[in-house]
Each structure stands twice: as C-alpha cells, then as structure tokens.
Structure 1
C-alpha cells in the first residue's frame, strides 16, 4: 500500500516541523508519516548523508508520494537536488511540493512532457541554491550592519518578523509579483519591494531588533 511521506529539514528556529506539517495539511495532503532532519545544512550536506535523509532512500517505494514544503528542503545544492529527484522518480516515487503544488512524476513517457519536467526541476534546484547563497550574503551584511549601528538608534521596527521575511524571499525566488505577495502575507506592497530591492538592509533591521 502506497504512503504519503512528508520530509522536513529544520535548519532554523523559523522552520519548525509543526509549521511545515501544518502547511502540508492545509494544502490538502494527508500525511502518513513524517521524516525530519534538524539543524543540518542544505548546502553542504547531501540528502543521502543526513541521518533521516538516508531513511527516505530506504523506505520510499514505487507509488509512494514524497511531500516537501519546497525543493530547498531536499537541499540547496543544485547537483544534489536534481540527482535526488531523478533517483526517486526512477524508483516510481512521486514528489510534490506544498508551495505552488508542483508534481514531479517519472511515469510520463512523452518526450515533450519529460523535457518540460526536467527543465523545471533544474530551474527550481538552481533557484534553491541561488537563494541560499543570497541569503547567506544578506545575513553576513545584516550582521555587519547591526554591529556598525550598535551605538545608534535602531530605527523603526520592521512590520514583519523573520518567518514572514523568509516567506517573502521564498515567493520572490519563485518570481511572484509584489502585489500578490503583499496580499498573501498581509504586508504592504512597498514593504515587499523594499525587501526585494534592499534585502541586506531588511535583514539588518531584523537583526537590530533581535527578530
């Protein structure tokens, strides 16, 4: 009997296991089992090298559905993510994402559908790595800015917390428009544009306020 398994990678305090499971259920998934890795890097640690990531390779069978919040939960290294998704598809596993409801199924034999599917996998994996690198630089810049401003007034408190900031960055990485993101997050369009155009400054504002 096939199963629907949620894999969660919890690398920060904002990405709780409960939050990822709740998101999946809200999107209509009925989860049979949850597998989660805590405190591991998606950039430097391959899925197959993570304690619970290894379990996925052992437990997933043809017909099973693997649910992830987005492909960056599998990893933020382009080669690892693309290799992982293709390996699971070869085994007959269907991969589905909570964000945008993407479906990667190796069952199709139509060359055009295969080409579109593989191009999308490559694009999403590349986006995950690019976003990770941008976030790392933004965090570095935020820390430096926070140190420089330590003796100054912290300025206006951000209208968003770090979880919302992360969500906005996710949406921007997927190419969503500012108005659409504003509607979904409850932030103003101007705030979304500020995060998009001044990500390091937005990160620094969160750091100054300890958010």
Structure 2
C-alpha cells in the first residue's frame, strides 16, 4: 500500500516541523508520516548524511509519495538535490512540493517530457543553492557593517518574523506572488511583508543577529 511521507528540515529554533506539516495539509496533502531533521544545515550536510534523511531513503518504497515544502528542504547543494530527486524517481517514488504544487516522477518515457522535467529539477536545485549562498553573503556583509558602524546597536530589536517565514516569503516572491498572498501564507501582516520585501538583505541581517 502506497504512503505519503512529509520530509521536513528545520535549521533554526524559529522554524517548526508543525508549520511545514500544516502547510502541506492546507495544500490538500494527506500525510501518513512525518520524517524530520532538526538543527541540520542543508548546505553542508547531504540528505543521506542526516540522521532522519538516511531513514527516509530506507523507508520509502515504490509507489510512495515524498512531500517537501520546497526542494530546499532536501538540501541547498545543487548536486545533492538533483542526485536525490533522480534517485527517488528511479525507485518509483514521486516527489511533490507544497510550494508551486510541482510533481517529479519517473513514469514518463517521452524524451521531451523527460528533458523538461530534468531541466526544471536542475533549475530549482540551482536556485536553492544560489539563495543559500546569497543569504550567507548578505548576512556576513550586514553583520560586518553594523559591527563597524554601530556596535552598541548591533543586535537591536528581535525580528517579528522567523527564518521559515522569510524563506517562504522569498520563495513566493520568486514566483511573482503579491503581498496579500504572501501575508496569508506566512501569517505576517501585509505591512510587514511590504517592509521586508523592500529590504530582503536587511531582513537577513536582523535574523542573523538573533541567530536565525
């Protein structure tokens, strides 16, 4: 009997597994089981090397569906993400994303459809890595600037948003979503969304100060 498994990865204390599950269910998925890794980086740790990621590979069977919020939950390294999705497809496992409602499976034998599917996998994996690298650079630059210009105010007020909300907002912005739709999906107010949207780099800096 086929099953639907949600894989969640949270890398900071502000992110929650429950929120990722709620997002999936709100999008129409019926989740049979949640497998999650907490406090694990998607950049430096391949899915197979994470405690629960390894269990995910062992547990999924032909005909099962793997649900993730977006491909960045599988990882933020291009090679790791593309290899992971393609292996699951070879094993007859369908990979589906909550954001954008994308489906990756190995059922098609049409070479044109395969080419389009593989190109999309590569694009999304590359985007996940690029976002991670841009975030890291923005954090480093912002932290260095604030330390140099005003050390006394380095930390400042605690942000009103979490890492998970900011990641979701960035993902939706990349797909052209408006402020109202983003506010509804993230639970943030529309003015907050607009403020963050106008200065994403600054929003990253604020989160970095608070360990986000």
TM-score (norm 1): 0.85
Shift of 1:142: 3.0
Call closer, same or farther: CA 1:56–1:152 in 2, change over 3 Å. Answer: closer
Say how many residue pairs are matched: 204
Q: Does 1:116 align with 2:119?
A: no
Q: Look up the match of 1:166.
A: 167
Q: Look up the match of 1:72.
A: 72
User: Would the aligned equivalents of 2:78 and 2:122 in 1 still touch at CA under 8 Å?
Assistant: yes
Q: How does 1:54-203 map to 2 (within 5 A)?
A: 54-147=54-147, 148-151=149-152, 160-163=160-163, 164-172=165-173, 174-177=174-177, 180-185=178-183, 186-188=189-191, 190-191=194-195, 193-195=197-199, 199-203=200-204
User: Would the aligned equivalents of 1:139 and 1:200 in 2 still touch at CA under 8 Å?
Assistant: yes
Cα separation, 2, equivalents of 1:66 and 1:106: 13
Query: Which consecutive unaligned segments of at least 5 residues does structure 1 have?
Result: none
Call closer, same or farther: CA 1:10–1:202 in 2, change over 3 Å. Answer: closer
Call closer, same or farther: CA 1:12–1:210 in 2, change over 3 Å. Answer: closer
Cα separation, 2, equivalents of 1:153 and 1:71: 33
3-state SS, counterpart of residue 8 of structure 1 = strand
Q: Give per-residue Cα distances to partners, 1:125-153, cap 9 Å, x unaligned.
A: 00000000011112222322342323359
User: Would the aligned equivalents of 2:196 and 2:203 in 1 still touch at CA under 8 Å?
Assistant: no
Q: How does 1:25-36 map to 2 (within 5 A)?
A: 25-36=25-36
3-state SS, counterpart of residue 34 of structure 1 = strand
More deviation, 28-37/185-194: 185-194
Q: Look up the match of 1:23.
A: 23
Cα separation, 1, equivalents of 2:93 and 2:154: 53
Shift of 1:80: 0.5
Query: Which consecutive unaligned segments of at least 5 residues does structure 2 have?
Result: 184-188
User: Would the aligned equivalents of 1:138 and 1:200 in 2 still touch at CA under 8 Å?
Assistant: yes
Shift of 1:205: 4.5
TM-score (norm 2): 0.85
Call closer, same or farther: CA 1:60–1:207 in 2, change over 3 Å. Answer: closer
User: Would the aligned equivalents of 2:154 and 2:209 in 1 still touch at CA under 8 Å?
Assistant: no
Shift of 1:5: 0.3
